[in-house]
Structure 1
């Protein structure tokens, strides 16, 4: 399914020179021309991508591919369109951004993708210029936010005004269909839409399915994001020395990501020494000591909004690792290698986890929560647990070309002193797989 190209909504009457409307249009055009997505990622990132031999993606083709994926899925499920609040989903649909982390917990920006019609972006006040670059947003309207921050005890009143605006778009472009997919919506919004005859369905299912298979241009974006991430990881490793705090070390990854046009990091998963076991300690003020293991998970949203999700464990200082550190590292590296080798199109999810290598008995209780998970603009469907954790409500499926998955390993003995975290990002190809992450493992810990 493809929508009609309606073009950005603009006034068509000429403005009087110097009028407020004329000045507003001039300001919008100026801001649109200076948008971060128009200016690009800068000389440092571009030089690193050129050195890695990664071509520039065709962004208009990428945007069209994504809209086609969304609309095909909407049509398959019988929806008139999708109402999207998750900033990652809005990025997927429009390739535009606006205060991504802030709007993730302050619902002040949303968009409507018609199955057979326009893309209407409801943006924050005076932010019309932020989507002019994309070529896929047909109209920008002011968002009505009914979160308590703005509506206080008048939420009931404001949610009705919001719902009327959504209902108007559905009536205009739904062709009589009143079923829409919605990714995130509080019950007040669901109830208000229902009173206007609009029936919301599961938009997360639509968007996760649409995002599952990446286009060649999306893979180019992901390759670039990983190169930027790994360059920042290299800067972090160069800064690792006895006496640095975990927070100071983690800041190097943030700095490197932002310097290359990346966007944010989703977690704070870096730990050293005894804080590496059990896993999922957030980084702290602890000072790293010589001989400590330092483990981290990037969870990084880099250039183009793509996730670079890899984990490494390093030995701090110039000394040699202990036998225990080498053994833990060897188990983790072997598990990653074994489970990566299983990846190819046509393999079922359950078959995959049943064949997968798992931690030894004394490490299994402290295992990582999943063996594999999808990744794209963020962590995505599917999430595949250990076979021992598979339940009746764990979804099955099949690996397909164009999917990207992360292979996870955490190895730490139950009650042990330290642990090792390794993770790789893998593309499912037509005839097997390709490892996209390439940052080297710690040779001292490998014993090589």
Structure 2
């Protein structure tokens, strides 16, 4: 924040609130509209505005200075959301006045509606974007974060193994995909953000969502995890399997060889300090006949 000359940030993004404080509450609901908020000032305080009757959930978290009851500033929370937005703006301005003085008030803000930012500007608060602040902060990984990320990946891999064990002829995509969700939640993961799980002819073109399609022996089964795992660290990898206890076809084996070749090539291309542009220039080149092989194998 100091490097970006930002003295205070206000966010309703539940992932950023968890990242900044370790406080989690109704993450998916919080994505439907601004409902709980974090106000963090560079030299303190750090104030969490929590759901009514949910204030006890964050009690004792050392990163939080104070817990207040959140004001509903969206139509989901109250038909008087615009009036509530004015009241909440008054509350924020009062805090900023105590911290920054009564002169030029500044605030970086994200994930709120226009009527609320209008209310802040009406009270002479100079606004900037908070998303870039969080992006820069999240780029810096502490050693403990690296350990948590590795743990989150391992837990998603275990959830994926439960999905794999459920793949069988006669099962629907939804039935098998549900096992991944179950395995993720059982390991304290957060949620799965897409339904990218498909089999057989539905694997191409890509982006078909999980459905009630019945899997057949010999089908390729493809998934993209798109999981928010432990402590909301994103774990996203793709895998492809064969349904049933059957031998892969020659085309499927060819595809596997191409996939393995590109993975090994690109893994060897990784190096500390290398730019994305440099990596792309040396990345594995997919030849036109390989696109054709993929299309034929999936159909």
TM-score, normalization: structure 1? 0.63
- The separation in 2 between residues aligned to 1:75 and 1:351, in whole angstroms, is 31
Q: Which runs of 4+ in 1 moved over 6 A?
A: none
Conserved 8 A contact 1:83-1:183: yes
Q: Which runs of 5+ in 1 are unaligned?
A: 1-73, 367-410, 420-448
Match of 1:116 among 35, 43, 51: 43
Match of 2:197 in 1: 270
Report deviation, 1:417. Answer: 5.2
Q: Identify the residue that residue 157 of structure 1 maps to in structure 2.
A: 83
- Aligned residues of 2:34 and 2:112 also touching (Cα < 8 A): no
Give the superposed CA RMSD. Answer: 1.9
1:353 is paired with a residue whose SS is helix
Moved more, 275-284 or 351-360: 351-360
Question: How far 1:177 moved relative to its partner?
Answer: 5.1
Matches of 1:99 and 1:319, distance apart in 2: 43
The Cα of 1:288 is off from its aligned counterpart by 0.7
Inter-partner Cα distance in structure 2 for 1:143 and 1:198:
20
User: Counterparts of 1:227 and 1:347 in 2: how far apart (Å)?
Assistant: 26
Q: Is the counterpart of residue 290 in structure 1 residue 290 in structure 2?
A: no
Match of residue 96 from structure 2: 170
* Structure 1 residues 133 and 277: alpha-carbon distance in aligned structure 2, compared to 1, 3 A threshold: farther
| Alignment partner, residue 418 of structure 1 | 298
User: Paired residues, what number?
Assistant: 298
Aligned position for 1:360: 287
Output the CA distance in 1 between the equivalents of 2:127 and 2:262.
43
Q: Does the 8 A contact of 2:225 with 2:238 survive in 1?
A: yes
Q: Measure, in 2, the Cα distance between the counterparts of 1:280 and 1:116.
A: 45
Q: Deviations over 1:405-425 (max 9, x none)?
A: xxxxxx943xx4518xxxxxx
Shift of 1:187: 1.4
Query: How far, CA to CA, are the matches of 2:125 and 2:294 in structure 1?
Result: 51
Aligned to 1:335, the other structure's residue is in SS state helix
User: Residues 356-412 of structure 1, C-alpha deviation per residue, up to 9 Å, x if partnerless?
Assistant: 124322566x9xxxxxxxxxxxxxxxxxxxxxxxxxxxxxxxxxxxxxxxxxxxx94
2:254 aligned with 1:327, yes or no?
yes
C-alpha distance in 2, partners of 1:358/1:173?
A: 55
Measured in 2, the distance between the counterparts of 1:77 and 1:204 equals 12
1:104-161 superposed Cα distances (whole Å, 9 cap, x missing partner)? 1132101011011111001110111111242110001111122112332x44322211
* Uncovered stretches (5+) of structure 2, i.e. residues with no partner: none
Which of 226, 229, 238 is 2:156 aligned to?
Answer: 229
- Look up the SS of the partner of 1:285 in the other structure: coil
Cα deviations across residues 50-79 of structure 1 (Å, max 9, x unaligned)?
A: xxxxxxxxxxxxxxxxxxxxxxxx112222
Question: Do the aligned partners of 1:81 and 1:174 also contact (CA within 8 Å) in 2?
Answer: no
Secondary structure, aligned partner of 1:199: strand
Q: Does residue 318 in structure 1 map to residue 245 in structure 2?
A: yes
Residue number among 11, 17, 37 corresponding to 1:84 in the alignment: 11
3-state SS of paired residue (1:105)? coil
- Of residues 236, 258, 266, the one that matches 1:339 is 266
2:106 maps to 179
| Cα deviation digits, residues 261-295 of structure 1 (max 9, x gap) | 22211111111011111111111101110000001
Q: Alpha-carbon deviations, 1:199-231, whole Å to 9, x = none? A: 221211110111012111111111221222111
Give the secondary-structure state (helix, strand or coil) at the position aligned to 2:170: coil
Show the counterpart of 1:279: 206
Given candidates 223, 226, 232, the residue that maps to 1:299 is 226
Contact 1:273 1:417 in 2 (8 A): no
Deviation at 1:320, TM superposition (A): 1.3
